[in-house]
Structures are given as structure tokens and as C-alpha cells.
Amino acid sequence: MRRLLADENFPGPVIDALLADGFDVLAIARTTPGINDVEVLRQAHDTDRWLLTFDSDFGDLVFFHGAPTPPAILYFRMHPIVVADVLAAARQALTEVPEGHMAVVGRETLRLRRFHEVA
């Protein structure tokens, strides 16, 4: 099972469902609320966890500012946030996204970008 780090903005019910699925999930909201995005990335990198987030800033930090990269980032673009939709998309993305990528996860879409690509 993948090891995951849920950003502070990630829905608690989705975290709980992923835990019930057997994923090892740490939730920033429950462990270190209020840390900045660079620290979130550092924590994901240092603990070898995939980052789950609704915050697009992580892409800028990784691709344009040299921030530490976790194994993968799943950036969810789903508004309004519907827990069942986020959970379904997360389960699918966790099986389809390869390490070394940032994925933009939508209700019906999944776009990938490798971390070492030049913009």
C-alpha cells in the first residue's frame, strides 16, 4: 500500500476512508496544522509519502522553485468538493499514477507531468 500525506485542505472523511482501505495516511490537519507548503513537501519527501492536496501551489514550488519532491503529488481539481467523488478519484489515481509525477485529478480526467520536465 502507498504511504500518503494529506494536505491540511484534504477532506477528513476521504482520509478516514483511505485509512479503512489500508493506506498509511498522515494528515497535516491532525499532526502539524498550519505548516507552510514547503514544509509539507519536505515532510512528504522525508517520509516517502505521496502528497494529496487541493492546493495548486505545490506544482509551482516543485517545478519552478526547486522544492523537495515527494514520490508523487495528486492535485485534486474538483469543485465543489463532493466526498464520494474525491474518494473515487483518489482510489483510481492511486492505482494509475506512477511515482515521479504530479497528477491533476478531476472527476473524469487525469493529467500527468513528470517532476524533472522542463517547463
pLDDT digits (tens, 9 = 90+) for 7-27: 999 999 999 999 999 999 999
Residue written as grid cell 500518503: 4
pLDDT > 80? residue 117: no
Across 88-116, average pLDDT: 96
Across 50-77, average pLDDT: 96
Q: Are 6 and 27 in contact (CB under 8 A)?
A: yes
Instruction: List the 24-27 sheet strands across, edge first.
Output: 24-27, 3-6, 50-53, 72-76, 101-105, 110-114
Residue written as grid cell 519536505: 42
Residue 85's pLDDT band, with cuts at 50, 70 and 90, is very high
Smallest CA-to-CA distance from 49 within 18, 12, 84 is with 18
